[in-house]
Structure 1
């Protein structure tokens, strides 16, 4: 386990690592708003380049409601990741509850033209307890 990226999953030599941080300054519990930032590192342990084309997320709030999010690329990019290299990005997730989780997948194309469905590990969204 990596101390900075506590959540990781490998699909066909592509490893996705996740670190998540609650952001109190972007949250407003009195208004029912909590916000997390997550840092993703995608490592290519294979022998050919891969390109991230699309992402698919499943997000659950603390009430069990599920939300699906899909789109092209990540943070406006469709990165090509060379063998032995990694790609990092940071994004965020708002929720209407102080707890939840996220998981998902990336659709990638290999240098030889084959498609990969790369898993993003499930990670918790947990706001710290507030005492009065």
Structure 2
């Protein structure tokens, strides 16, 4: 059984996003974004990221889901007190959207848990008024 992260599984997740103008084509409803995720293990034992699950919602409330093994081709082992960062990207059809999701993790001692990623915004800068 998989449970939500608790005190033993302290994983902090930070997100930074960037609009990619060079890869976007607003006239064709193509808005490209990069996101950098930093996962910090503030728990007492190493944890491994096994799988990811993203829910991407565009400005028209169209939802797409992405599930997959690892992140950027890796299933990183994150030691206590250490962080793992990676950058990936997504393309949506509107200038504004959100992403949220979770990582399926397992502790070194074999306890599976879910580390949630709170919703974050994808915003093309000129769409802000």
TM over 0.5: yes
* Superposition misfits of 4+ residues, deviation over 3 angstroms: none
C-alpha distance after superposition, 1:3-45 (max 9, x if no partner): xxxxxxxx43100100001111110111110000000000000
C-alpha RMSD over aligned residues: 0.9
Q: Which residue number corresponds to residue 91 of structure 2?
A: 94
Q: Distance in 2 between matches of 1:97 and 1:28?
A: 10
Q: Which residue number corresponds to residue 4 of structure 1?
A: none
Aligned residues: 120
Higher helix share: 2
Q: Which residue number corresponds to residue 74 of structure 2?
A: 77
C-alpha distance after superposition, 1:78-101 (max 9, x if no partner): 000000000000000101111100
Q: TM-score, normalised by structure 1?
A: 0.88
C-alpha distance after superposition, 1:40-87 (max 9, x if no partner): 000000110000000000000000011111000000000000000000
Give 5+ residue unaligned stretches, structure 2: none
Q: Which residue number corresponds to residue 103 of structure 1?
A: 100
Give 5+ residue unaligned stretches, structure 1: 1-10
Q: TM-score, normalised by structure 2?
A: 0.90
Q: Distance in 2 between matches of 1:121 and 1:33?
A: 24
